[in-house]
Amino acid sequence: IEEPLIFETGRLDVTGVDLYAQEETPARLGGLRRRTAPHLPGLTEPEAVRHYVRLSQKNYAIDTGLYPLGSCTMKHNPRLNEKMARLPGFGDIHPLQPVSTVQGALELIHLVAEGLKVLTGMPAVAMSPKAGAHGELCGMMAIKAALRARGDARSVVLVPESAHGTNPATAALLGYRVESIPARADGTVDPEAVKAKLAPDVAAIMLTNPNTCGLFERDIIEIAEAVHAAGAFFYCDGANFNAILGRVRPGDLGVDAMHINLHKTFSTPHGGGGPGAGPVVLSEALAAFAPLPWVVSGPEGFDLVENADKAGGAHPFGRMTAFHGQMGMFVRAAAWMLSHGADGMRQAAEDAVLAANYIRASLSDLMSLPFGDRPCMHEVLFDDEFLDGTGVTTLDFAKAMIDEGYHPMTMYFPLVVHGAMLIEPTESESKASLDLFIATLRDLAMAARRGETDRFAGAPRFAPRRRLDETRAARQPVLRWSAPAPVGPEPARDAAE
Amino acid sequence: IEEPLIFETGRLDVTGVDLYAQEETPARLGGLRRRTAPHLPGLTEPEAVRHYVRLSQKNYAIDTGLYPLGSCTMKHNPRLNEKMARLPGFGDIHPLQPVSTVQGALELIHLVAEGLKVLTGMPAVAMSPKAGAHGELCGMMAIKAALRARGDARSVVLVPESAHGTNPATAALLGYRVESIPARADGTVDPEAVKAKLAPDVAAIMLTNPNTCGLFERDIIEIAEAVHAAGAFFYCDGANFNAILGRVRPGDLGVDAMHINLHKTFSTPHGGGGPGAGPVVLSEALAAFAPLPWVVSGPEGFDLVENADKAGGAHPFGRMTAFHGQMGMFVRAAAWMLSHGADGMRQAAEDAVLAANYIRASLSDLMSLPFGDRPCMHEVLFDDEFLDGTGVTTLDFAKAMIDEGYHPMTMYFPLVVHGAMLIEPTESESKASLDLFIATLRDLAMAARRGETDRFAGAPRFAPRRRLDETRAARQPVLRWSAPAPVGPEPARDAAE
Amino acid sequence: MRYLPLTEADRAAMLAKIGVSSIDDLFADVPRAAWRTDPVDLPKAKSEMEVERLLARLAGRNVAAASVPFFVGAGAYRHHVPASVDHLIQRSEFLTSYTPYQPEVSQGTLQVLFEFQTQVAELTGMEVANASMYDGSTATGEAVLMAHRLTRREKAVVAGNLHPHYRAVVENLAEMAGHEVEVLPPVPVGAEDILGRIDDTVSCVVVQSPDVFGNLVDMAPIAEKAHAHGALLIAVFTEVVSLGLIEPPGAMGADIVVGEGQGIGNGLNFGGPYVGLFATRQKFVRQMPGRLCGQTVDAEGRRGFVLTLSTREQHIRREKATSNICTNSGLCALAFTIHMTLLGARGLERLAEINHQNAVKLADMLGAVPGVDVLNTAFFNEFTIRIPGKAHEAIEALARKGVLGGVPASRLYPGEGLDNLILVAATEINTDDDRAAYVTALEEVVG
Amino acid sequence: MRYLPLTEADRAAMLAKIGVSSIDDLFADVPRAAWRTDPVDLPKAKSEMEVERLLARLAGRNVAAASVPFFVGAGAYRHHVPASVDHLIQRSEFLTSYTPYQPEVSQGTLQVLFEFQTQVAELTGMEVANASMYDGSTATGEAVLMAHRLTRREKAVVAGNLHPHYRAVVENLAEMAGHEVEVLPPVPVGAEDILGRIDDTVSCVVVQSPDVFGNLVDMAPIAEKAHAHGALLIAVFTEVVSLGLIEPPGAMGADIVVGEGQGIGNGLNFGGPYVGLFATRQKFVRQMPGRLCGQTVDAEGRRGFVLTLSTREQHIRREKATSNICTNSGLCALAFTIHMTLLGARGLERLAEINHQNAVKLADMLGAVPGVDVLNTAFFNEFTIRIPGKAHEAIEALARKGVLGGVPASRLYPGEGLDNLILVAATEINTDDDRAAYVTALEEVVG
């Protein structure tokens, strides 16, 4: 059964929210009362519940199957964390209540902040950024502020070809010119290539480590030292922190700023696209420029520094957002950290790396590895060479996975590899689950090799929808529902609006 | 993808529950320590969540579609009610805490009890029965106790042919001989037939009203009077109370005892088969025999009468169950009652009756009504006459509904009608939902008429399973998982157990 | 009204289609004497916010177990239930589905029941289990009726230390059905002579372990004697977690094992809903009450599950059914199954071990309070103490000090001379602080 | 560990398959200088029960809004969210799914986004809306950047009564990107001369209504002047419920409407996560930041939804993207959509009406307290009072009396001479008792 839009079934005179009656006093709206009601149909609770339950059933989710998206870290989201975030003492407090009434909340933020500092080996952290890209922006702003503070107007940011799109977008947003660094044949960054680019106008380099090819940048310390020697800063994209959690501290690699996706490494749920949280750890050199606000712990309890005049010796560059960051995500991340502990977090990283390598080793005979059959970190990158001559594309291959009950892996990213397929299993999959996934991919790879192109070109067949026409969507954008135009003599539905 | 059993994927050395370590002291088990571990494999949380989420996806539910089961009242379950039942002050209190620490809980039970008394017009209610059948047992025990108290050892209970199976089963459990009353041609009970059976050894009559043909027993007062005149009692099966809620009080019909399914009329969720709650309202004549325990309200607050010596002038017949009844269901029912109010409950009954009659009127030209095209209550009964000669059975017809996205209606019940199909839409369906359901049934009825037998005989096709072999299940019962027998030279899985 | 989708316009259109002029016409069969024109005398509809406020106020008048040092047991036990359990049982497809009579669209519920039955059988050491009963007490009543059917005898012998509520349920059912039941007096310390009551007229012996006072009972000799006389042993437990550590009744010769499953997966809920467990031997299965889920195949030969052996049940057999039970404790059984699956044998054993350890620690601490004696020698997570004064007064006094210290035996056994005894339960939720608070408070109360 | 399914045996088998002898071999590329052999200096793994206890203790140290008379607003508002909203957003298929880049298996999320975009457009009176931003403040920052792109000018004029946090975000972004921003001083009472600041160098004017002091602003004249100079009007709101009662910015000529959507469907959460709403004219859509969901058809011609116009986005356009935003507020947008769907236009209007009425009542009551003045003439559900003493001290004193009475203006505007002002918000959650408690407490505090 197809599920209609609420605008097609809801009625303007229906509401699913009863409110109490009360005596009315004259309004004081200064003549600005709304003149026409919005076209917002209502559904009663039975209708709304069914509508959204049925819509939900059209989604794939980590709770329904392995979600092998590289660079996205779709791991299990513990239910305790959801429960904790809903405690009234966390979920039902206002960001501008007196600090005396939110001491536990400030302590929670402090707890997470301290944990991130220990895990990264960095001296400071800015908690307010609302997602990874926001964290990147925050980190790069801190770099810009630090450069300014020393009167240094640098204009270039170096970004490897394999970087996430957010990296160049962030740099550009701040007015930097982006210069690309090509990848070495082995998929990592060549320190010599970096050094060659390190002119005096380079403000920073933005590196992802482990990188988006699933490899640890083995020359990262040399790169960091060269960057620092050139007076530039080292921004690290922390999207892949899951691979090294508890095993490697970015602070020991010479990182100056790195955002941490709490919705990846620390397992706050993705929610179909958000919300996330992107705290940024900062080096000694950048710590003083961290944005407002932050939590401080003192003898009389916790306090919030919300304004520059209370910032002590620091020089906050400004404010990233209203209020204090993604509290709801902090609670979940705290629960995850406490549940795993130092031992469990290290084990999680190891299991994630182990799982990716297990997939690599189990598929290397059938699928092609662009950088050879060598250990990867928590994600393994294949290219489409093994599909050469089969008539099957990376896209076809990925869509065929849907028919086997799996979400596709990340495709065509990173851009440095032709027809990339980036697979990240995470630590939450059992060996049985990995084995079934491997068997499925082997079966598909062999089917492609055998020339069973029908199985690929037409996929998916067993999903709520066949392949969707994305070109049409972009060429003739329909971005909202509109009442259909009147047809013939009958008045159109809702035409009265 | 097929979902295996936990016994096939779980491992005996895995647990998804971490517990704290502590110093151990010597055990004091008196030599009764377990000698062999049970074969209970564990799953970690990621595995368990995925397993049960995927299993859930194989179920139909009221949240996913209209559930037209006659006599089962599958209506919307408000989410507020679930939230309220989980308040620590209701969900996390022990039945044997001091009554001084559970005053709010006793008040809640009192609130529901008083509400049920008002709605039924009855002077007393026994709250402890755990489901409808348990309530029947309670009501019939009260009747037996009342008869005993007057030294009257009657041995027969009259039950109409159309009754729910629980009615005769309950009577038999108490040692009564069950005598059947045939239905009148119009589907209701003939008072003359009852009077003919009303010998001095008749203890009670058990009637369902509205009855299972979806009809209000129009001579019910006459029947009640005859029963009382014969010194017998009138037990009313309250499964269909939803039809008359707030419009007719059973107390005004001469009922002596009636159970109320809180999981039907008062919308506590069915949960795949339970739990329910079956409070029993009692007439003046039976009130003194109500079972222990009950709540009393006094000047110093609420108290629990748990023992006969505190029962005042009453003569409780005994105890139906440990503790005080289905508190979790009481909270949900209270929320439902308060939310609807006197006006909303009456409206709910009217809408339920309206919906059933709308279906009747919309299908009467294509499907056959055994008792003619006259108003029904909250459920409408069709028979299989309209399928005569089509080669399609009631079962086929019902299973074909699955392929159209609907749960089948109640089939082959009541027994008084050939190939019965009993449809109860409830008040929670919108007109659009009813119209779609009607259109689907019309389409199926016409397909049957057109002889499209393939569409029926093979149904369902689009369900997690095709038709299941129930005969095989009963003839060679496999009621639990067992480790497969060893095959060949390899040691069998889990054979070490 | 937020739960009623029909609008006035819808209602008018529907009445028109039906061909009547008002809703009253559809109630034409209602006798005028019972015809009500006005709503009943209850308050009008309330908004969600108002209902929430009202009920939260009532809830706030109760002392939640989590908010105090908590040691109450006697048939219901507070354990930590993983958050994922409540999340999963609230899945719409589990919560709002009906009894799985249509197996093609109920495989989720059915497979869960199959897993549940297997888990219960494994835990109790029995061959088969049903798909749940209301609770432990009603399961015990049903077990006695089943024993009567199997033995064609009508006399049950019931141990004195069976939970008094369970005893009352059995007595009531037996008495109402015209059967005989012989109940021994309670024996908080020492053994009772139940063996001496078993003869060829007895259908079954009902014995609980751990019993209501917390004592562990070796049932093997009772089973032996019962079987020698053609009687059955019905073993009862109220704390299912005990089966993680103590020998299961099946291994001691029980014929029917019944008990309360609340302790796994389910909260205290002020006494309900709970989940009755019911297991027996394969050969007795056709006399078993309640629903059963069985494995079969579908039309394409794929494994699937159905409710089966329903010729035992009331909806098929009517007055010849093995029980009148219909609605059972499906969702509570689901919670049990999920929690049990998370635990596994290893987690269950560890859980039981911690319970026992905490009980041992607490017993030693309370026993060291001047004037207080611990009565039990062998116990699992519950034991009985004797105090100098009236137990029910002490419990009230403890409650005023913010400690819920257990159940006075006199509440369960009024007028049976057990006025100085408190049943005390310890579980994994108790901390060192909880135990210390209890000791301090008890010292003050009895001092 | 309960979240890690691999056993030691699994790990050994997997290492063998990989062909390495230990996990360390897989980390061979890590420089020795950064190689850690021990776990970091954090506590070891804790059981679920321990974590729950620890976090519940922290939560218990905060005063939850529901537990007191509560009147705090200034950018975040406490409304009653129906229980079904939180139930639905916790559905595994919504909660644990990724961004819907694979539309065939993400139609649930995508259809929700299409409904969300339509609802936001309708509410704001605009043509199109995106699929959400982080929150209102960052949406405002993005709106200014978008106006720069559209007008190819780089100077924004910002009303003095824009929420100071929003102002700070805009200033920071502008300053870091090298743009200019002219901010007017705050004006709690009376009008500011924003019209006078608009000239041909201005890219946009940023105006909030209701403004941070609660005043309603007629934006039509500002739009007119801005358009006359080729500038855009960016309208901002922090209380989305106001759109149920007051004229939407789209009807007053706004070109971009941004604001905070938290008030519908989302709790206070101590400031986040929230959901930024962003709507504009159809013709500007290709300069819009953030994700967009569009309607299309699948290979069989059935309607379906996809993320579209992604050539604006960073993952396609990299440094040429309209924004660097990636993860947004999907689940908060879902909560918004469900709550909005339950409300419908009728429910929303009623909700807004009650909010306004409660604010009017409260303003009259507080204004009657000796020494206290209400500054606003026209307002929605929030207003500003002037008290005799320091506002921040009064708020602390009120908190000690168990009333959370609002936000001192000086907390938002330190050192700007607004020390006697309190921003007070009233919503449907406030009862007569709440209002009376506030009056009593305030009388004591200022008396």
- Cβ atoms of D326 and D131 within 8 Å: the answer is no
DSSP string, A401-452: HHHTT----EES-STTSTT-EEE---TT--HHHHHHHHHHHHHHHHHHHTT-
Q: Which residues of A touch D44 (CB under 8 A)?
A: 341-344
Percent of chain A at pLDDT > 70 equals 97
Q: Is B120 exposed, middle or buried (0-12, 13-18, 19+ CB in 10 A)?
A: buried
Helix H or strand E segment including C422: strand C421-425
- Cβ atoms of B251 and B122 within 8 Å: the answer is yes
Q: Which residues of B touch C117 (CB under 8 A)?
A: 479-480
Q: Is the ipTM of this complex over 0.95?
A: yes
- Cβ atoms of A91 and A85 within 8 Å: the answer is yes
Q: What is the 8-class DSSP label of residue C105?
A: G
- Cβ atoms of A417 and A370 within 8 Å: the answer is yes
Distance, in Å, from the CA atom of D62 to the CA atom of D52, rounded to the nearest integer, reads 16
Tokens coding B478: 């496999």
Q: In the predicted model, what is the mean pLDDT of residues B318-345?
A: 98
Distance, in Å, from the CA atom of B139 to the CA atom of B315, rounded to the nearest integer, reads 14
Please say whether the dihedral angle defined by the alpha carbons of residues C421, C427, C429 and C432, taken in this order, is positive or negative: positive
Partnered with residue A167 across adjacent β-strands are: none
C49/D80 CB distance under 8 A = yes
Q: Which residues of A touch D328 (CB under 8 A)?
A: 131, 273-275
- Residue written as token pair 């299409």: D114
From C304's Cα to the closest Cα of chain A, the distance in A is 20
Distance, in Å, from the CA atom of B417 to the CA atom of B429, rounded to the nearest integer, reads 27
Q: What is the C-alpha end-to-end distance of chain B, expressed in Å?
A: 29
Residue B284's CB is within 10 A of a number of other CB atoms, namely 11
Q: Which residues of C touch B17 (CB under 8 A)?
A: 82, 342-343, 347, 350-351
B130-169, pLDDT tens digit by residue?
999 999 999 999 999 999 999 999 999 999 988 998 999 9
Distance, in Å, from the CA atom of B168 to the CA atom of C102, rounded to the nearest integer, reads 24
Q: In the predicted model, what is the mean pLDDT of residues A19-24?
A: 86
* Residue-range domains of chain C with CATH: 8-60 (no CATH), 65-80+345-446 (3.90.1150.10), 83-339 (3.40.640.10)
In this complex, which chains have at least 3 CB pairs below 8 Å with chain C? A, B, D
From D364's Cα to the closest Cα of chain A, the distance in A is 11
A18/C45 CB distance under 8 A = yes
- Residue written as token pair 């019931």: C158
B98-136, pLDDT tens digit by residue?
999 999 999 999 999 999 999 999 999 999 999 999 999
Which residues in D have their CB inside 8 Å of a CB on C? 2, 48-49, 52, 80, 82-83, 87, 90-92, 342, 428-429
- Confidence band, pLDDT 50/70/90 cuts, at residue A491: very low
Residues of chain D whose pLDDT is less than 50? none
Q: For residue D80, give the nearest of C48, C92, C428 by CB distance.
A: C48
DSSP string, D195-219: GGG--TT--EEEEESS-TTSB----
**Residue C364: φ, ψ to 5°:** -65, -40
Q: Which residues of A touch C83 (CB under 8 A)?
A: 78-80, 82-83
Distance, in Å, from the CA atom of A484 to the CA atom of A482, rounded to the nearest integer, reads 6
- Cβ atoms of A173 and D146 within 8 Å: the answer is no
Q: Which of 268-307 (B) contact C at CB < 8 A?
A: 269-277, 291-292, 306-307
**Residue B69: φ, ψ to 5°:** -70, 115
Whether the pLDDT of residue A278 is over 70: the answer is yes
B78-106, pLDDT tens digit by residue?
999 999 999 999 999 999 999 999 999 99
- Share the mean pLDDT of chain B: 94
Q: In the predicted model, what is the mean pLDDT of residues A129-155?
A: 96
Whether the pLDDT of residue A257 is over 60: the answer is yes
- Amino acid residing at B338: L
Minimal CA–CA distance to C137: which of C174, C176, C164, C175?
Answer: C164
Q: Which residues of B touch C218 (CB under 8 A)?
A: 30-32
D2/B19 CB distance under 8 A = no
Helix axis angle, C164-177 to B132-149, nearest 10°: 60
- C-alpha triplet D206, D209, D215: angle, nearest 5°: 125
B357/C26 CB distance under 8 A = yes
* Strand A421-423 versus strand A410-411 pairing type: antiparallel
Q: Which residues of A touch D134 (CB under 8 A)?
A: 130-131, 134, 274-275, 321
Count of all residues that appear for chain A in the document: 497
C360/B102 CB distance under 8 A = no
CA-based nearest residue in chain C for residue A16:
C2
Q: What is the 8-class DSSP label of residue A480?
A: S
Q: Is D415 exposed, middle or buried (0-12, 13-18, 19+ CB in 10 A)?
A: exposed
CA distances from C253 to A362, C136, D286 (A): 50, 20, 77
CA-based nearest residue in chain A for residue D52:
A84
Distance, in Å, from the CA atom of B409 to the CA atom of D167, rounded to the nearest integer, reads 60
- Amino acid residing at D377: T
Q: In the predicted model, what is the mean pLDDT of residues B404-409?
A: 96
Q: Which of 160-179 (B) contact C at CB < 8 A?
A: 164-175, 178
Buried-exposed string C62-101: b where 16+ CB fall within 10 A, e elsewhere: bbbbeebbbbbbbbbbbbbbbbbbbbbbbbbbbbbbbbbb
Q: Which residues of A touch C86 (CB under 8 A)?
A: 79
- Cβ atoms of D203 and D225 within 8 Å: the answer is no
D49/C429 CB distance under 8 A = yes
Whether the pLDDT of residue A496 is over 50: the answer is no
Q: In the predicted model, what is the mean pLDDT of residues A348-358?
A: 98
D83/C429 CB distance under 8 A = no
- Residue written as token pair 């990147």: A136
CA-based nearest residue in chain C for residue A79:
C84
Distance, in Å, from the CA atom of A305 to the CA atom of D183, rounded to the nearest integer, reads 23
Helix-, strand-, coil-residue percentages of chain B, each rounded to 5: 40, 10, 50
Residue-level pLDDT at A495: 37
- Amino acid residing at B254: G
Q: Which residues of C touch D49 (CB under 8 A)?
A: 80, 428-429
- Residue written as token pair 């691999």: D6
D118/A481 CB distance under 8 A = yes
Checking phi first, is residue D158 left (phi over 0); if not, alpha (psi -120 to 50) or beta?
beta
Whether the pLDDT of residue B191 is over 60: the answer is yes
Minimal CA–CA distance to A89: which of C344, D55, B393, B194?
Answer: D55
Q: What is the C-alpha end-to-end distance of chain C, expressed in Å?
A: 59
Q: In the predicted model, what is the mean pLDDT of residues B255-263?
A: 98
Q: Which residues of B touch A405 (CB under 8 A)?
A: 1
Long-range contacts of D396-401 (CB under 8 A, 24+ apart): D396/A98, D396/A100, D397/D445, D398/D438, D398/D441, D398/D442, D398/D445, D399/A97, D399/A98, D399/A100, D399/A101, D399/D63, D401/D441, D401/D444, D401/D445
- Cβ atoms of D37 and A350 within 8 Å: the answer is no
**Residue B151: φ, ψ to 5°:** 70, 30
Distance, in Å, from the CA atom of A365 to the CA atom of A361, rounded to the nearest integer, reads 8
- Cβ atoms of C214 and C384 within 8 Å: the answer is yes
**Residue B78: φ, ψ to 5°:** -60, 140
Radius of gyration of chain A measured on its C-alpha atoms: 26
Percent of chain B at pLDDT > 70 equals 97
Partnered with residue C307 across adjacent β-strands are: C293
Q: For residue B96, give the nearest of C72, C272, C313 by CB distance.
A: C72
Q: Which residues of A touch B63 (CB under 8 A)?
A: 49-50, 53
- Confidence band, pLDDT 50/70/90 cuts, at residue A461: very high
Whether the pLDDT of residue B495 is over 70: the answer is no
Q: Is A97 helix (H, G, I), strand (E, B) or coil?
A: coil
Chain B interface test: which of C327, C340, C418 (most B C-beta within 10 Å) = C327
From A471's Cα to the closest Cα of chain B, the distance in A is 32
From C339's Cα to the closest Cα of chain A, the distance in A is 13
Q: Which residues of B touch D342 (CB under 8 A)?
A: none
Residue-level pLDDT at B497: 34
DSSP string, D265-324: T---GGG-S--EEEEE-GGGGGG--S--EEEEEBTTS-EEEEE--GGGSHHHHGGGSS--
Q: Which residues of D touch C86 (CB under 8 A)?
A: none
- Cβ atoms of C19 and B354 within 8 Å: the answer is no
How many A×C Cβ pairs under 8 Å?
A: 48
Helix-, strand-, coil-residue percentages of chain A, each rounded to 5: 40, 10, 50
Whether the pLDDT of residue A490 is over 50: the answer is no
Residues of chain C whose pLDDT is less than 70? none
Please say whether the dihedral angle defined by the alpha carbons of residues A442, A447, A448 and A453, taken in this order, is positive or negative: negative
Residue-level pLDDT at B491: 43
In this complex, which chains have at least 3 CB pairs below 8 Å with chain B? A, C, D
D25/A144 CB distance under 8 A = no
Report yes or no: A9 at the C interface, CB cutoff 8 Å.
no
Residue-level pLDDT at B249: 97
Helix axis angle, D391-400 to D432-446, nearest 10°: 120
Helices (H) and strands (E) in chain C, counts: 13, 13
Q: For residue C7, give the nearest of A11, A20, A49 by CB distance.
A: A11
B18/D7 CB distance under 8 A = no
B9/A46 CB distance under 8 A = no
Residue-level pLDDT at B487: 59
* Residue-range domains of chain A with CATH: 80-336 (3.40.640.10), 342-474 (3.90.1150.10)
